[in-house]
Structure 1
Amino acid sequence: MIANQFDVFLFDLDGVIYIGNEPLLGAAEGLARLRKENKIIRFLTNDPCTTRSKIVQRLKHMNIEAYEEEIVTSGWTTAQYSKNKNIKKAFVLGNDDLHWELLQAGIEVTDVASCDAVIVGWDSSVTFGEIQKASKLIHQGASFIATNSDKTFPTPKGPMPAVGAMVEAIRIPTGKRPVIVGKPYPSMFQEATKNLDSSLHIVMLGDNPETDILGAHQVGLHAILVGESAKPYPSKKDFRNADAQIYNLSDLFDKEAQLKKWIRPEYPWPESIKPGVAGIVFDEKGRVLLMRRSDNGLWGIPSGHVEPAETVNQAITREIWEETGLEVRVKRLIGVYSEPVSQVFPYPNGKVSHFVTNCFECQIVGGNLNKKHWETLDVQFFNINELPEALLSMHPKWLEDALEQQKISFIR
Structure 2
Amino acid sequence: MISEQFDVFLFDLDGVVYIGDEPLSGAVESLARLREKKKIIRFLTNDPCTTRSKIVNRLNRMNIEAHEEEVITSGWATAQYLKSTNLKMAFVLGNNDLKWELRQAGIEITNGSSCDAVVVGWDNTVTFYDIQRAAKYIAQGAVFAATNADKTFPAPEGPLPAVGAIVEAIRVSTGKRPVIVGKPFPSMFHEAIKNLDPSSRIVMIGDNPMTDILGAHQAGLQAVLVGESNTYPAKNDFRNADANIRDLLGLFDPDIQIKKWVRPNYPWPESIKPGVAGIVFDEYGRVLLMKRADNGLWGIPSGHVEPAETVEQAIIREIREETGLEVQVKRLIGVYSDPVSQIFSYPNGEIAHFITNCFECQVIGGSLNKNHWETLDIQFFDIHQLPENLLPMHPKWLADALEQQTSSYIR
Give TM class, smaller chain. Answer: over 0.9
Give, in angstroms, the shift of residue 393 of structure 1. Answer: 1.2
- 2:141 corresponds to: 141
Using the alignment, how far apart are the partners of 2:293 and 2:98 within structure 1? 42
| Matched residue, 2:329 | 330
Residues 377-402 of structure 1: CA deviation (Å, up to 9, x unaligned)? 51110000000000111111111111
Name the residue aligned to 1:60.
60
1:231 counterpart SS class: coil
Residue of structure 2 in register with 1:188 after alignment:
188
Write the mapping of 1:287-366 to structure 2, written as runs, cut at 5 A. Answer: 287-366=286-365
CA shift for structure 1 position 231: 3.3
Give the residue type in structure 1 aligned to 2:389.
A
| Aligned residue in 2 for 1:175 | 175
- Tell me: CA distance 1:377–1:231, structure 2 relative to 1, closer, same or farther (3 Å): closer
**Partner of 2:127 in structure 1?**
127
Q: Per-residue CA shift, 1:292-315, capped at 9, x if unaligned?
A: 111211111110000000000000
1:285 alignment partner in structure 2 = 284
Separation (CA, whole Å) in 1 of partners of 2:210 and 2:403: 41
> In the alignment, is the contact (CA less than 8 A) between 2:269 and 2:343 conserved in 1?
yes
- Partner amino acid, structure 1, of 2:284: K
Q: Per the alignment, do residues 273 and 51 of structure 1 end up closer, same or farther by CA in structure 2, a change over 3 Å counting? A: same
Would the aligned equivalents of 2:49 and 2:98 in 1 still touch at CA under 8 Å?
A: yes
Q: How big is the alpha-carbon RMSD for the aligned residues of Structure 1 and Structure 2?
A: 1.3
Amino acid at match of 1:23: P
Residues 307-338 of structure 1 show CA distances to partners (whole Å, capped at 9, x for unaligned) of 00000000000000000000000000000000
Distance 2:66 2:342 in 1: 44
Where 1:41 maps in the other structure, the secondary structure is strand
Whether the aligned pair in 2 keeps the contact of 1:9 and 1:42 (CA below 8 Å) is yes
Tell me, in whole angstroms, the C-alpha distance in 2 between the residues paired with 1:373 and 1:139: 29
* Whole-angstrom CA distance in 1 between matches of 2:299 and 2:339: 17
Q: What residue number does 2:268 align with?
A: 269
State the distance in 1 between where 2:250 and 2:372 align.
Answer: 62
Residue 48 of structure 2: aligned partner:
48
Structure 1 residue runs without a partner (length 5+): none
The DSSP-based 3-state class of the residue aligned with 1:259 is coil
- C-alpha contact 2:279 2:300 (8 A) present in aligned 1: yes
TM-score by length of 1: 0.97
CA distance in 2, matches of 1:179, 1:202: 25
Identify which range, 92-101 or 377-386, moves more after superposition: 377-386
Q: CA offsets, 1:61-106, max 9 Å, x none?
A: 1110100000000000000100111111100000000010001011
The 8 Å contact of residues 213 and 239 in structure 1, kept in 2 or not, is answered as: yes
Structure 1 CA distance, aligned partners of 2:291 and 2:258? Answer: 44
Q: Provide the residue aligned with 1:224 in structure 2.
A: 224
CA shift for structure 1 position 257? 0.5
- 1: CA distance between counterparts of 2:370 and 2:130? 51
- Report how far residue 366 of structure 1 moved: 0.4
**1:190-209 alignment runs, 5 A limit:** 190-209=190-209
**Structure 1 contact 361–402 (Cα < 8 Å) conserved:** yes
1:239-250 aligned within 5 A: 239-250=238-249
**For residue 179 of structure 1, what is the amino acid of its counterpart?**
V
Q: Is the contact made by 1:146 and 1:179 (CA closer than 8 Å) also made in structure 2? A: yes
Question: 1:3-26: per-residue Cα shift (whole Å, max 9, x none)?
Answer: 110000000000000011110000
Maintained 8 Å contact 2:209/2:230:
no
1:73 is matched with which residue?
A: 73
Name the CA distance, whole Å, in 2 between partners of 1:72 and 1:43: 6
CA distance in 1, matches of 2:195, 2:135: 37
Partner of 1:109: 109
Instruction: Give the distance between the partners of 1:169 and 1:42, measured in 2 at CA.
Output: 32
How has the CA–CA distance of structure 1 residues 344 and 371 changed in structure 2, closer, same or farther, with 3 Å as cutoff? closer
2:225 touches 2:243 (CA, 8 Å); kept in 1?
yes
Residues 377 and 269 of structure 1: CA distance in aligned 2, closer, same or farther (over 3 Å): closer
Determine the C-alpha separation between the residues in 2 that align with 1:371 and 1:124: 55
- Conserved 8 A contact 1:95-1:121: yes
Question: Aligned partners of 1:141, 1:396: CA distance in 2, in Å?
Answer: 42
Partner of 1:392: 391
The 8 Å contact of residues 373 and 379 in structure 1, kept in 2 or not, is answered as no
Alpha-carbon distance, 1:407 to partner: 9.3
SS at match of 1:242: coil
Supply the distance in 2 between the matched residues of 1:233 and 1:203 (Cα, whole angstroms): 20
Q: TM-score, normalised by structure 2?
A: 0.97
**Same amino acid, percent of matched pairs:** 75
Shift of 1:405: 2.5
Mapped partners of 1:314, 1:267: distance in 2:
30
Whichever residue aligns with residue 387 of structure 1, its letter is: L
Q: Is the 8 A contact 2:230 2:240 kept in 1?
A: no
Q: Could you give the per-residue CA deviations for residues 130-163 of structure 1, whole angstroms, max 9, x where no partner exists?
A: 1000000000000000000000000001111000
